[in-house]
């Protein structure tokens, strides 16, 4: 999955580029706010990778 803290709860796309997306297990969906746990996990993964991208 994405380590971008602002990515959709269900896929690796940010809100500004999301529109409608299809993801296995979820199907067609709009951008959905990630949970606080997802944001924290993604931020820690980004930090561990040594960068912002």
Domain spans of the chain, in order of start: 1-53
- pLDDT tens, position by position, 20-43: 999 999 999 999 999 999 999 999
Q: Which are the contacts of 8, defined by CB distance < 8 A and separation ≥ 6?
A: 14, 15, 18, 21, 29, 31, 32, 34
Among 2-6, 25-29, 48-52, the range of highest mean pLDDT: 25-29
pTM (2 d.p.)? 0.77
Q: What is the pLDDT of residue 12?
A: 92
Confidence of residue 49 (pLDDT cuts 50, 70, 90): confident
């Amino acid at each position: 999955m994405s380590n971008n803290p602002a990515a959709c709860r269900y896929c690796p796309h940010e809100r500004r580029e999301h529109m409608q997306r299809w993801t296995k297990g979820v199907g067609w969906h709009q951008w959905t706010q990630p949970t606080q746990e997802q944001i924290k996990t993604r931020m820690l993964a980004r930090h561990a990778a040594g960068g912002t991208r």
